[in-house]
């Protein structure tokens, strides 16, 4: 018995809430609980602007991309007048999926495979098979167009929002819009790399991984080229409303790892060997390593299953030689055969394994370094915004009664910028 009591004494500090401010830790059930996951789908993933693709992926009228947003199938397409629109990827007749592949061209319009109803690129129904059968109930083509989805394009990035009562995109982006204009809005960009994977972890754990620079210690490449250098630590996070944030540009010492300089062909707004990371709530990371940009987006499938899409981006005006350089720089670090991605995924999947078994109850976001790179302030802001959206306290998500979703701590950090 003594032995058991002693064991419990040893364990108890890990089973009770950390003695930290409520903003400085989260209860790991926010990652594993299926009820919370469903709430996230409704109150965050379906209720915020979501990046679905870059406009360079839809170069011609009729080009489309199919996606799922919070479980809802959506088709994004370029119409005859070259504007980009989005619709539920669903036939309004009986719910069959309209577009079954991920990408294609529907210049002649969309046709449902089931009963052959057709739709124009603006979503209007153009024909109903044997339409006379509907004369008795006066159903007309005009009554059965595709359900449109709010779509806005900012700096070539195509965003959609399933909810009609959400403020416009630029208002949502707030102060981040200027940073995006600097890096994405000066020259036309083009996606040259795409891959994806379903990773066995909660989507927020991969957001954390993308967001926190403290995790650079995971990567031997980053240890030598970034955190080992004093200048790396001499810049700040800039935190914005809605939990968007950006780390000020730093210089990466590629030579410290025997990799080539990135002094030629820097993307707009970037200095030689510069690096910038921007995070858009809830799931987007824009990471620029001087000559090449990586864009991450996520589609949470279940509490422990997340579809991640990775894009590599250069300039549309790239010569073949310059494009080859950008691809090389991309692949040195990123991509499925890059040095860093296997390490990131190994880390977040092991987190999930311990959390889902109840072996890890709390996660700490308690680093305070005056908004320097390895301060956790941006993560705290993320979870405060998460808590506001769900009406749950991240550190105590199943508390009964009124939930304190005070964001004053984060706002104070924002005003400190």
Q: Which of 189, 193, 190, 188 is nearest to 328 (CA)?
A: 193
**Separation of alpha carbons 238 and 240, rounded Å:** 7
CA neighbours closer than 13 Å in the CB half-sphere of residue 103: 10
Nearer to other proteins, 258 or 401 (CB): 258
Pairing outcome for strands 274-280 and 237-239 = unpaired
Q: Least distance in Å: CB of 224 to other proteins?
A: 10
Q: Least distance in Å: CB of 96 to other proteins?
A: 22
**Separation of alpha carbons 315 and 385, rounded Å:** 33
Interhelix angle 377-390/408-416, nearest 10 degrees: 140
Q: Which helix (H) or strand (E) holds 276?
A: strand 274-280
Q: Least distance in Å: CB of 310 to other proteins?
A: 10
DSSP-derived secondary structure for 226-267: IITSGGGGS--EEE-GGG-EEEEEEE--GGGGTPPP--SSPP
CB 18 within 8 A of CB 24: yes
User: H/E/C letters for each residue in 138-150?
Assistant: CCCHHHCCCCEEE
The pair phi, psi for residue 302, each rounded to 5°, is -160, 170
Q: Least distance in Å: CB of 196 to other proteins?
A: 6
Nearer to other proteins, 13 or 258 (CB): 258
Q: Which of 204, 198, 201 is nearest to 27 (CA)?
A: 204
Q: Least distance in Å: CB of 128 to other proteins?
A: 31
Nearer to other proteins, 202 or 222 (CB): 222
Task: Give the tokens for residue 387.
Answer: 């808590």
Nearer to other proteins, 176 or 325 (CB): 325
- Site residues for other proteins per CB under 8 A: 57, 65, 101-103, 191-198, 218-220, 258, 311, 327-328, 331, 335-339, 341-343, 345-347
Nearer to other proteins, 350 or 374 (CB): 350
Nearer to other proteins, 213 or 276 (CB): 213
Nearer to other proteins, 65 or 294 (CB): 65
Q: Least distance in Å: CB of 337 to other proteins?
A: 4
Q: Least distance in Å: CB of 55 to other proteins?
A: 12
CA 403 to each of CA 364, 384, 387, 406: distance values in angstroms, whole numbers, following the listed order = 20, 12, 9, 9
Q: Least distance in Å: CB of 304 to other proteins?
A: 14
Nearer to other proteins, 151 or 222 (CB): 222
Q: Least distance in Å: CB of 313 to other proteins?
A: 11
Residues 6+ apart with CB under 8 A from 207: 279, 282, 283, 285, 298, 382
**Separation of alpha carbons 276 and 176, rounded Å:** 13
Nearer to other proteins, 309 or 396 (CB): 309
């Amino acid at each position: 018995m003594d032995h058991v009591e002693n064991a419990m004494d040893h364990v108890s500090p890990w089973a009770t809430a950390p003695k930290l401010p409520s903003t400085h830790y989260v209860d790991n059930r926010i990652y594993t609980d299926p009820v919370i996951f469903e709430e996230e789908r409704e109150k965050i993933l379906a209720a915020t602007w979501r990046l679905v693709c870059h406009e360079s992926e839809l170069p011609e009228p009729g080009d489309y991309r199919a996606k799922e947003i919070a479980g809802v199938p959506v088709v994004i397409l370029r119409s005859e007048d070259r504007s980009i629109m989005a619709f539920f990827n669903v036939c309004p007749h009986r719910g069959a999926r309209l577009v079954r592949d991920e990408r294609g061209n529907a210049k002649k319009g969309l046709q449902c495979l089931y009963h052959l109803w057709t739709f124009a690129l603006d979503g209007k129904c153009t024909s109903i098979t044997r339409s006379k059968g509907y004369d008795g109930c006066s159903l007309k083509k005009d009554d059965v167009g595709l359900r449109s989805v709010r779509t806005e394009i900012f700096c070539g990035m195509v965003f959609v929002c399933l909810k009609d009562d959400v403020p416009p995109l630029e208002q949502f982006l707030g102060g981040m819009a200027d940073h995006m204009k600097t890096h994405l809005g000066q020259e036309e960009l083009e996606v040259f790399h795409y891959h994806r994977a379903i990773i066995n972890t909660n989507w927020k754990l991969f957001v954390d991984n993308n967001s926190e620079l403290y995790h650079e210690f995971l990567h031997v490449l980053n240890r030598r080229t970034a955190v080992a250098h004093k200048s790396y630590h001499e810049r700040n996070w800039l935190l914005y409303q809605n939990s968007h944030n950006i780390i000020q540009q730093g210089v990466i010492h590629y030579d410290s790892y025997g990799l080539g300089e990135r002094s030629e062909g820097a993307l707009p707004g970037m200095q030689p060997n510069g690096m910038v990371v921007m995070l858009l709530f809830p799931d987007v990371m824009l990471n620029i390593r001087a000559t090449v940009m990586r864009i991450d987006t996520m589609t949470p499938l279940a509490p422990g299953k997340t579809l991640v899409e990775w894009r590599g981006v250069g300039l549309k005006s790239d010569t073949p030689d310059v494009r080859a350089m950008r691809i090389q720089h991309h692949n040195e670090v990123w991509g499925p055969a890059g040095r860093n991605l296997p390490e990131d995924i190994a880390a977040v999947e092991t987190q999930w394994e311990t959390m889902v078994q109840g072996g890890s109850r709390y996660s700490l976001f308690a680093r305070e370094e005056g908004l320097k790179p390895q301060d956790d302030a941006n993560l705290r802001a993320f979870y405060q915004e998460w808590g506001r959206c769900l009406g749950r306290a991240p550190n105590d998500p199943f508390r009964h009664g009124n939930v304190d979703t005070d964001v004053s701590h984060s706002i104070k950090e924002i005003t400190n910028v």
